[in-house]
Every structure is written in structure tokens, then in C-alpha cells.
Amino acid sequence: MTQPLPLALAPAVPPSGLRRQLDRWFAPPEADSRRTTWPALMLFLAPALIIYAALTAYPVVRTFYNSFFTIADIESAKFVGLAHFAELARDKTFWAAVRNTAIWSAVAPLLDVATGLLLALCLYAGVPFARFLRVAWFTPVLLSYVVVGIMWVWIYNYDWGVVNAMLRSVGLGSWARSWLGDPNFALAALMITHAWKWAGFNMVVCLAALHSLPSEVLEASELDNCGWWDKLVHIIVPMLWPTLLNLYILAFIGKMKVFDLVWIMTEGGPLWSTETVSTYVYKRAFNWNTFDLGYPSAIAVVWFVVVVGFVVLFNLLFRRRERLEY
Amino acid sequence: MTPSALPAGLLTRWLRQGGLMAIIVLYTLYSALPFVWVGAMSLRTTLEISASHFAWPDVYHWEKYRIAWVDSNFAQYFWNSTLVVGAAVAIVTLFGAAAAHCLARYNFRGNRLVYFILFSSIVFPPQIILISLFQVLVEYNLYNTRLGLVLVYVGLQLPLTVYLLEGFFSRIPQDLFDAAKIDGYGDFEIFWRIVLPVGMPAIATTVILNFIQLWNEFLFAVVLVSEPGLRTLPIGIRAYMGDYFQDIGMIATGMMIAVIPVVIVYAFFSEKLIQGMTAGAVK
Amino acid sequence: MPTIRPLLLRGTLAVLSGAFCCATLSLPASAQGAGKATEPQTVTMWSHWPDEAAKRGFVEERVKRFEATNTQCKVNLQFIQKSDLYASVKTSVRTGQAPDIFWLEPDEIAFAKSGYLEPLDSHIELKNLEDWARSEWTVNGKVYGLPVEAYTVELYYNKDLIKKLGMEPPASMQMTQAQFTELVKKAAAAGITPLANGVGDRPYPGAYFLQEVLLRKLGPDDYKLLLTGKLSFTDPRVIEAMTWVKQLVDAGAYPKSFSTMKLGESHYYFHTNPGALMFPIASWYTGRAFVAPEKGGQPKGFPLGIMKYPALENSKCPECKTLAVGGSYVMYSRSKNKECAGKLLNSIATVENGTRWLEEVLLQTGIRSDANRMQGIWVLYFKELQERSKGAKFFVGTPLHYLSGKCADTFSQVLNRAFPAGQMSVQDAATQMDAACKAS
């Protein structure tokens, strides 16, 4: 949403992206019906901001601070400057974790959102038993990671798991393997499990968004005799764009910090093939027998910057903030 | 080959529909079967399961639920979970909606900055802030209390809630508010009477999501509350998952018990969600 | 103007209900935490073993007797799973909130090095502890842990199955390299899994066989050098041992589900379903196996035998054996109840209790004990266990007691998981271990 800059602030040279962003953040307010008094603003914002400041901002700032120290004990913190970051650049396990997390975040969100949209379209188009399907497709979301992890460990079990049992029953027994124990397949197996859990959530959100679309447009397209693919690409997706982008960003962030499922199923997996940045952070902070908090804090800081960078990039590239007026 | 009596268009449509139905059935099996399997296992003893993993229970061991509930103190954990998660979800929804409304509706200096700050903390992996968080709770005497855990949970889910709700609220047409202002509504009343009802689908979605995530949360629950009488449900289930003999049967029962409230909350709130959805576009 | 009053009203209502909620939620805990000046000291004690009935019973009994004889000390005892206990304790030690006494294993000696543990020299009778057990917890001359559980790494086997294969262990109970290779090949050919390990949830069982072979090949001194990074993994003797193990792995020594099978499951795999030939595991095997079959224990009358690990040709110390301390109790250095905690620990450290541990738990202990006083149905098993250790030279500590940080992580992924699973070559494994562990 563009806001006109007051003339006094408008520079002679067109501002760069960052400058424009800052101007947008700090621009004085415009139209009257979108202004209100400070006390009212504070009433709305204060409760959230107070909790946020105490329980999120402080620990996060503390983590940033810790990343410049080696911390074995509360009393003894040794300032090491950028040493942790330098060591990070040489850390092979860290880069393995980055690679795995990057693969996951590149592939999975697209799959998640696409599956959610397609499922929602099925329901919207009116298949029989829609209500039952809506519940059945959403159940995986309701389960905790512990439950999902255990279930799928059983499903992937070499001796009696569902996957191998099915393969053996159709004569493809030679394809049966220890899915979570093989460095080549463990990551893919985890990705499938994670997608299984979240598809239903994306479906529900897309469904809600589909229902909030004005029906006239869809009817009009019907009259124009559009095929379903054209309808999808040219009408539905553009109209749902804010929702889809939101879902994509949420999925992206979720994959960038995935921890619970990996921890329960493989703990970083055979030969680091499922090590993610979050599991590595946890291991360094809690499992390695050194008590140093500084190094895992440094990892968290670097990763934070990376993820925020990506999200800002996505927003700049894809976000359209028009209000839907109809 | 005899030509088909049916027009080609109809045939392709049947094929496509048939294909669609096949996909839907397959996907439903893929989605729901693991859950059904766990349900079946929850009614069998571990010995039976070890003998044959996929069979349907022939003796329904309903007493396992009683055993889990009574002997493993599930009742206490259940109550704690309900209290903690219920309070946390209520608070985060209220605070989050208020903040989201403010950020979506009103212009003021630093609006986008506040939004960015709130949003960026979604990105932080919770494992690393655990220790600092622990320190904060100790300093405020909230360690080992349910209130402390509630506040931590609120802090955990606040960024996501604000993000989702702000996205939705910002798409509510301005005309609605202008009309309300003309009718003499104050800021708070606009929030209470217009935004909340209209935004109910989004709010229902965040309630469901928050409830699910917090009901199943275990890292913070393990570390921040150590008093056994105050522990939450995920801890109870993990008691069966010792490095001892994996009591698969009891684990399955524990899982089912843990899932039931989530299903109830989902059933209730998804009705609101659907009502909101099928009420049509905001006019 | 007309909006102020309803606003105020609602605001007050909200604040009041919020305050009420806070009061309810924080009430129970605060009532417990209220300061009591003349009340007895309450020692908080966290232990592992929530689902190991024998060990749990032992600890509970000790605590009960302590409370009976020390009325000014009360104990708040909790049993928590190891992973949760560690997560909790590692967080809380940094902020002064850790329990007074908690359970720890010697591979977490970093706690002592970072100053979180109280030296026990002044609290307990050190002479009631075995020397080797004391040494596992000694840092800078001070003892930091009470070594309750101890174990040796044994090679259990199924007597009936080995007879069925037509091979019996020699009178010395230690096979030669050639004999053992033949045994593994025969078992694999007959469809019986030779070694029933699983590394799904532990960072060490897969390496048991390799480490024992290495210990016997190198002798205790060089083995220690290997574990402290002063001997390279590319040393010809190490390579020879690893090559032989790789040979066995390729012949099908480990189960196909090795990578994902959990520790508890591997016990079951060995003695019940599908049943394996041998089980290289520590002597705490009894904790899971010597219980009722419905709870995962051995079937009644299971023909359990104990062998010695095979020795390679030209092994320096074929009679060597790994002995290690397991679960121990430590005291928090910032505890406010050190007096009572110290008394509690001291009450556990008696010869009588050591013997009780032997009888009830069927496992070795780091407290001095008198095995000759043992009674009970499992005496025969214990006698056989002692037989196998007669004349043995003990090496104290498992690899993870010596390795830490990146080296420990690599050990767990390479020597424990990938190498026995047949996913790595000998050269690769040795190079990776060297890269991570070589002391600079």
C-alpha cells in the first residue's frame, strides 16, 4: 500500500528500497477514519506487547548477546567476539544441517500449499461426504508431533511397517528398506510425514478463503465456458493470492525451524542426513558435553537473519496489499 | 471396436470423475488410516500387538483406558493441561486479536515496525530461548507454576496469532468502519462488535491452531514445570515411552486419550469456522 | 464520550477476571513454596529409572529408611525419564533452581568441570566406594558422584541356538577370530541374526562389539590413547580390527532393522521374537530381561549364556574387559539443603546397600558389596557373570566417558550407526573419526 510522502520529506533522488521501506514504516498517518487516539492504541497493543517484551524479546535479545561469548556458567562468560561465527563457517555439521533444512524449505511449502488448495477445491466443488472428508483430512493436524512421530516410525519399520508390508505384498520386496535408517531416504521419509500432518491445515484455510470469494466472479467464468485449469490459474489463484502467500510463508518458516518431528523420529538421523538447524542448535545447547551456550546462540542468530531475510524478500516480491473492495 | 454409445464428452467426464473419486478415496485412506490403526492398537495389549501388528482387536480392552486414566495419574495431567492450555488460548486470542486489529486498522508511526518485530519472532527456534526464558520465570517467581507456563505459552503463540489475524483483518473493507463511525461507534466497540464477529473464521482458525500446538507442547512443559502435581498431559504419555520395554499398547491408549479434547475443540470451532465461511463474503 | 463508560466498565471487569485467574493458577504452587522456618529441610531428589521396577524400588526403599532415621530431613523423590531429566537439569543448573540431588552418568562429567556439582568428599564415606568407581567421578582429586550402578560389557548368547548350529564355545568361553567368523556365517546362513543390536534411540550400542575387540587388541593403555585422541584411527591394529568387524557386518551380523531398532526392542529381539544368537550388551541387560515375559522379559527357562568377546590374532590383552559406572547420584553445588542431602547420599553408600543392590537389581554396583552374601533365584546367573570376569583386567569407562563434543557426535553417527550398518568403508570411518577426535 503506497502512502504519499509529505513534500518536505520527499528527496530529490528516488529513494532506494531500504529507504522506501523505512519511510513506509515511519510515515505520518493519512486519512482521518484510520486514526485514533494514543490511549486507545495503547489499550489494544499494550497487553500483547508487554508479554512479548518480557517473554520473547528479552530472551531473544539475550540470545543475540550470548552469541558473542563463550558461556559455561552464569558467572563466567568470556567475550570471544566473532569467533563463534568464524567457527560456524567451518563447521561441517552446520552446513549439512543448512543443506537439509534448505531442501526441506524449498520443496515442502510448495507441495503443502498446492495439496491444500487442491483438496480445498475438491471439497468446494462438492464431492459426496464432504463433511466427513473435511474431518478425515484434518485429523493428522490434530495429532501431536509425539503421536505422529511414533506412528510413522512404526509405519516405516523395516520388519512389520506398513510401507514395507505393502511393497512385499505386491512382490516389490527388494525395494523394502529401513527407510529411516538409510541416509539416502531418511530425509524424504521425514518430509512425507511432515507434509502428511500439515496438508489438512492448508486445506481448511484455503477452503475458508474460497468461501469468502464472491460467487459472481466464479459464475461469470462458468458462463464464459472456461475449462477448470483456466479457471484455476487465471481466476482462483490470483484471487486467493494473499491467502496462498500467507500459507507459503508460514510453511516456509515452519520448515526452516522444524525440530519436533525430526527429534522424535531420527534425532538428526543416520549420518546427519536429517540434521536440521534447530536440532543442531538443541544438540549443541543440551547434548554436547560442553556447557557452552554461546555457540548455539550464534547459530540461532545467523539462522534468524537468514529466515527473516527470506521472508522480507518474499514479501517485497510477492505481496500485494490492496484491500478487496467489492 | 464398437463405438461407444455415450458421447465422448460424457465419457471423459466420467473418467475424470472416477479418477477424482479414486484419488479422494486413496487420500482419505492415507490421511485417516494411521489414526484408525492407533485407535485399534489402543484397545489391544502389547503382547497381542507384537504377535500381529495390523489385526483388528478381537477382545476390546476398554479397561486400558481406565488403567491409563487412574493408574498413571492421567486425570491430574488432563486437568492441568485443560487449565493451562485453555487459559493460554483464551488470553492469546484476546490479546492477539486486539493487537492485530490495531495494526491492521489504524495508521500510526511505527505501525509496520511493530508488526515486523512481532512477526519476526515466529522465526526463532524455541529451544534456544528456553534457557533465558527459564531465567525470566525464576526471577519473577513464576517457575514451577501454571501461571508461568500459561504466560510462556501466550508468548509462544502470540506472533503467529497476530500474523494470521492481521492478514485477515486488513482485508475487511473500509466501508464497514466508515459506516460504523458515522453511526457513532467508538474504537473499542468497533473492535468488539464488528471486527470480532466478522473475523470469526480467522479467529476460529487461530484458536484451533493454537489449541493444537499448545495441547501437544512438551519441551517447555517438561523444563518449566517440575512439580509432578502440576504437570501436563504430554508428560504423562511420555512415561510410557521409557527406554524400557516399549509398551506399545499403552502408548496407543495414551495417545488416544490425549487426542480426544483436541478433536472436541476442533469439532466445536470448525462449526464456527464453517458458519463464518458459508455466511458468505463480507458485505 | 458515550464510549468511555462502557469502556471503563469492561476494562475493570477484564482486569478483575484476569486477577482472579492469576490467583487460581498460581495458588497451589505458591502454597507449597511458602517459607517454613522451623520445618524440616526438604531435599529434592530426581532420579531416572521410572519404569525399572527393581532399581526404582531400591531407591525408594533407601529414601524411606533415611526419612525414618532422620526426622529433620524430608525427601521429595521424583522419577523422571533420562532425556527429560537431562533437559530439565541442564536448564535449571544455570539458574540456581536445580534439585538438590539428581541422577547423572559419568559421561556428563562436564557438570563437575563447570562447577555445578558439589564435591562429595566431606559428605560420604569414600572408603565404601570401589576405587575404580570412584575414579570415574574424580575431577582434580575430588569425587563428585555416588556410583550406584555399575556394569560390564558382556556378550550374551542363546545356548540352544548355538548348539543347534553345531558350534559350542570353547572351555575358555573365548572364541578365536576364525571360530567367531565361522559362527557368524553359519548363523546368517541359517537365518538367525548373529548380533541383535539396535541403535534407534541410543548413541552407543552399535559400537559395543567393535570397542571390545579394539580393547583386547590394543590393550588398555593404547585403547585409552585411542579414546583420548592421541592414537590415530588409522593405526594398523585399529584398521585390522575394523576390517574384521566390517567382514562380519557384510556377512550379515547385524539385523536389517539395526538403524531404527530401539534398545528395549533389541532385548526383545534377542530373547523372544525373532530370537537372535548373541547380544553384545552391558550387564544391565537384567533390568529389562529378568522380569515377567508380559512386561518384556525373557521367556521362562530361556537358555541364557555368557561368552567372552572373541580376540583377534595377536591381541595384546585378550583378558581385558570394560567396566563402567552407570547411574549415579550427584549433589547440586548451589543446593540449599546440602546437610540433609549429604546425609542421604551417605546413607546409601554402605556395604549392606551395595549387597542389596546386587540381590535386588542383579547388576554390579560401584559401592563396595559382598557378593558372597547374595541370595535369591538369580544367584546362578550372577555366579556365571562373576566366572566370566575372573582373571579379567578391567578397563574403566566406555568410549562415551572419554569422548565429548564433536568427537562424541561423530562416534555416535559413524562407529555406532553407519559403520555397523554397512554404510561406510573402514577407511572412511577411520578418517572421519580422526578428523573429529584427534587431539591437537
pLDDT tens readout for residues C3-18: 445 445 455 445 555 5
Residues of A in Cβ contact (< 8 Å) with C108 = 289
Name the more confident of A232 and C335: C335
pLDDT tens-digit readout, A119-129? 888 888 777 78
Sign of CA pseudo-dihedral A8, A11, A17, A22 = negative
Can you give A35-72 as a three-state secondary structure string? Answer: CCCHHHHHHHHHHHHHHHHHHHHHHHHHHHHHCCEEEC
CATH topology of domain A99-272: MetI-like fold (1.10.3720)
Q: Kindly list the residues of chain C whose beta carbon comes within 8 Å of any beta carbon in chain B.
A: 2-3, 6-7, 10, 21-22, 25-26, 28-30, 32-33, 46, 50-52, 78, 81-82, 84, 87-88, 91-92, 94-97, 99, 201-202, 262-265, 267-268, 273, 288, 294-296
- Look at chain A and count its residues: 326
Q: What are the chain C neighbours of B144 within 8 Å (beta carbons)?
A: 29, 33
* The total number of residues written for chain C in this structure: 440
- Closest CB from C46, C81, C97 relative to B242: C81
- In chain B, what residues touch A57 (CB-CB under 8 Å)? 117, 121
- In Å, how far from its chain's centre is CA C64? 25
Per the model's pLDDT, the better-predicted residue between A189 and C359 turns out to be: A189
Find the range with the poorest average confidence among A48-57, B260-269, C25-34, C37-46: C25-34
- pLDDT, position C23: 45
- For residues C278-287, average pLDDT: 91
How far apart CA C279 and CA C155 sit, in angstroms, is 6
What's the CA gap between A26 and C46, in Å, rounded?
Answer: 53
Distances (CA, A) of A69 to A146, C116, C128: 34, 19, 42
Q: pLDDT band for A17, please (50, 70, 90 cuts).
A: low
C291 in Cβ contact with C297 (< 8 Å):
yes
d(CA C309, CA B4): 76
Q: What is the pLDDT of residues C175-206, one digit of tens each?
A: 999 999 999 999 999 999 999 999 988 899 99
Average pLDDT over residues C404-432: 92
Q: What percent of chain C has pLDDT over 70?
A: 90
From the candidates A129, A152, A202, A204, which should be mutated to test the interface with B, based on the most B CB atoms within 10 A? A204
Asked whether residue C270 carries a pLDDT value surpassing 90, the answer given is yes
User: Which parts of C339-406 are beta strand (E)?
Assistant: 393-396
The pLDDT value recorded for residue A190 is 93
Q: What was the ipTM of the complex prediction? A: 0.81
| Structural domains of chain B sorted by starting position, each given as residue range(s) with its CATH number in brackets | 65-278 (1.10.3720.10)
- Give the CA distances from residue C28 to residues A270, B225, B228, C25, C39, in Å, rounded to whole numbers and listed in that order: 45, 13, 12, 7, 19
Domain C151-324+381-437 belongs to what topology? D-Maltodextrin-Binding Protein; domain 2 (3.40.190)
- Out of A40, A56, A154, whose CB is closest to B121? A56
The residue in chain B having the minimum alpha-carbon distance to the alpha carbon of residue C86 is B223
Domain boundaries, chain C: 41-149+326-369, 151-324+381-437
Q: In the predicted model, is pLDDT for residue C240 greater than 90? A: yes
Residue A209 has pLDDT above 70, yes or no: yes
User: A23: buried, middle or exposed (CB in 10 Å: 19+, 13-18, 0-12)?
Assistant: middle
- Which residues lie across from C73 on neighbouring strands? C41
What is the full per-residue pLDDT of chain B (283 aa) written as tens digits? 444 454 556 656 666 677 778 888 888 889 888 888 888 888 888 777 777 777 788 788 888 888 777 777 778 888 899 999 999 999 999 999 999 988 888 888 888 888 888 888 887 778 778 877 887 888 888 888 889 999 999 999 999 899 888 888 887 888 888 888 888 877 788 888 888 888 887 888 888 888 888 988 888 888 888 777 888 888 777 766 655 456 778 778 888 887 888 888 887 777 776 666 555 433 2
What is residue B8's predicted lDDT score, i.e. its pLDDT? 57
Residue tagged 465422448 (cell numbers)? B8
Measured between beta carbons, the chain A residues lying within 8 angstroms of C94 are: 73-74
pLDDT at B226: 79
- For the ranges B45-49, B117-121, C164-168, C304-308, the lowest mean pLDDT is seen at B45-49
Q: What is the pLDDT of residue A10?
A: 43
Which backbone phi and psi does C315 adopt, to 5 degrees?
Answer: -80, 140
pLDDT attached to residue A13: 52
Strand partners, C308: C174
Interchain CB distance below 8 Å, B138 and C267 = no
Do C151-324+381-437 and C41-149+326-369 fall under one CATH topology?
Answer: yes
In our burial notation (b when 16+ CB lie closer than 10 A, e otherwise), range B191-223 reads bbebbbebbbbbbbbbbbbbbbbbbbbbbbbbb
Would you state the pLDDT for residue A233? 77
pLDDT tens, position by position, C86-138: 888 888 888 788 899 999 999 898 899 888 999 999 999 999 999 999 999 99
Nearest to A211 by CA among B200, B132, B79, B210: B200
- pLDDT confidence tier of residue A27, bands split at 50, 70 and 90: low
Q: Flag if B133 and A59 touch (Cβ within 8 Å).
A: yes
- What is the torsional sign of CA A156, A158, A159, A162? positive
Residues on chain C touching B50 (C-beta within 8 angstroms): 268, 273
Confidence at residue C440, expressed as pLDDT on a 0 to 100 scale: 58
Instruction: State the pLDDT at residue A33.
Output: 60
The domain C41-149+326-369: what is its CATH number? 3.40.190.10
Distance from CA of B37 to the nearest CA of A (A): 9
